[in-house]
């Protein structure tokens, strides 16, 4: 049961991090709301079963912090991860390691890292987009992506995403952070706010608020069912879904 709710909670966080633009666009109409729900429904079953950081296919630590800032039209931007190593001996491997994705063409919750070949870093096809700080040891290593992937990421509407993540030792996870999302349709006008996530043996809760504290999204799943509510910046209900063992009720405006 712990594993089940952890997947739901991390799925919601993953969808937030990768698809926050869908939430920013819900005010445009029902189609965007349905698209958001389709994304949530497809991603949750495939999400992480833990907060592990993987190197060469093996889990070597836990992700404890995240910062994403792909700002600007000409800048590469920045990704920063904090990782608590489960085996400090791996530091010897990391000292001369420039990190790259194991599979840059498949970005999902199981994606891990590898040490890039020196030729990859010098031929111009790889771009440094951030860094990972490992503890204990306080060692920092670069994150490198193929140039085409870095360009796609830099053009995304996510201007910044800050998150702190922690496990409670009993199978639960807590996360909180802030976001800044641009909207191309309105000249990259920003939309800022905060989010919180909590999962435990009883269920999962996710909330997203704008910069004035107004609710944009509320998601709750427990043994009694699922409750999802999405509102626009004026507080109007755009979508509500209630589902339990008996059935489901959906209302869109």
Q: What is the pLDDT of residues 91-150, one digit of tens each?
A: 989 988 999 887 655 544 566 899 988 888 888 788 888 899 999 888 999 988 888 777
**Cα 43–chain centre separation:** 11
pLDDT for the residue 94: 92
pLDDT for the residue 250: 64
Confidence band for 47, pLDDT divided at 50, 70 and 90: very low
Residue 176's CB is within 10 A of a number of other CB atoms, namely 15
Domain residues for the domain of 133 are: 52-153
pLDDT tens string 203-227:
788 888 888 888 888 888 777 777 8
Are 8 and 19 in a shared domain? yes
pLDDT for the residue 155: 66
65: which 2 tokens?
């912090």
100: which 2 tokens?
């790259």
Residue linked to tokens 């000292």: 95
Q: Is residue 162 part of a domain?
A: no
Between the CA atoms of 100, 115, 84 and 163, what dihedral angle is there, to the nearest 10 degrees? Answer: -10
Confidence band for 21, pLDDT divided at 50, 70 and 90: very low
Residue linked to tokens 């594993």: 3
Q: Is residue 165 part of a domain?
A: no
pLDDT for the residue 28: 47
Are 76 and 129 in a shared domain? yes
3-state class (DSSP) for residue 33? helix
pLDDT for the residue 85: 92
Residues 157-171: what's their mean pLDDT? 69
3-state class (DSSP) for residue 103? coil
> Taking the model in full, what pTM does it have?
0.61
Say how many domains are in the chain.
Answer: 2
Q: Output 130 or 181, whichever has higher pLDDT.
A: 130
Q: Is residue 149 part of a domain?
A: yes
pLDDT of residue 31 exceeding 60, the answer is: no
Are 80 and 25 in a shared domain? no
Q: Output 87 or 189, whichever has higher pLDDT.
A: 87
Q: What percent of the chain has pLDDT over 70?
A: 60
Per DSSP, which regions of 31-186 are E strands? 52-55, 58-69, 78-85, 99-101, 113-115, 126-135, 139-146, 158-167, 173-183
pLDDT tens string 224-248:
777 888 887 777 877 777 776 665 6
Q: Which of 123, 153, 183 is where one domain is finished?
A: 153
Residue 132 β-bridge partners? 81, 141
């Amino acid at each position: 049961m712990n594993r089940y709710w952890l997947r739901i909670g991390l799925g919601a966080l993953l969808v937030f991090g990768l698809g926050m633009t869908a939430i920013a666009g819900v005010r445009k109409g029902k189609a965007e709301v349905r698209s958001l729900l389709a994304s949530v429904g497809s991603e949750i079953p495939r999400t992480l079963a833990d907060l592990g950081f993987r190197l060469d296919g093996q889990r070597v630590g836990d992700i404890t912090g995240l910062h994403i800032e792909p700002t600007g039209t000409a800048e590469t931007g920045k990704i920063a991860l904090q990782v608590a190593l489960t085996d400090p001996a791996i530091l010897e491997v990391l000292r001369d390691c420039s990190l790259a994705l194991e599979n840059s063409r498949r970005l999902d919750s199981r994606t891990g890292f590898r040490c890039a070949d020196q030729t990859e870093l010098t031929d111009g096809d790889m771009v440094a987009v951030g860094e990972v700080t490992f503890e204990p040891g306080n060692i920092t290593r670069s994150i490198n992506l193929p140039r085409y992937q870095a360009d796609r990421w830099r053009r995304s509407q996510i201007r910044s995403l800050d998150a702190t993540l922690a496990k409670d030792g009993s199978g639960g996870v807590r996360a909180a952070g802030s976001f800044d999302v641009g909207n191309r349709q309105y000249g990259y006008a920003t939309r800022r706010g905060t989010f919180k996530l909590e999962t435990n043996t009883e269920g999962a809760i996710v909330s997203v608020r704008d910069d004035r504290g107004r609710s944009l999204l509320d998601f709750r799943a427990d043994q009694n069912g699922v409750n999802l509510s999405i509102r626009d910046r004026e507080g109007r209900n755009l979508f509500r879904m209630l589902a339990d063992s008996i059935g489901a009720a959906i209302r869109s405006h």
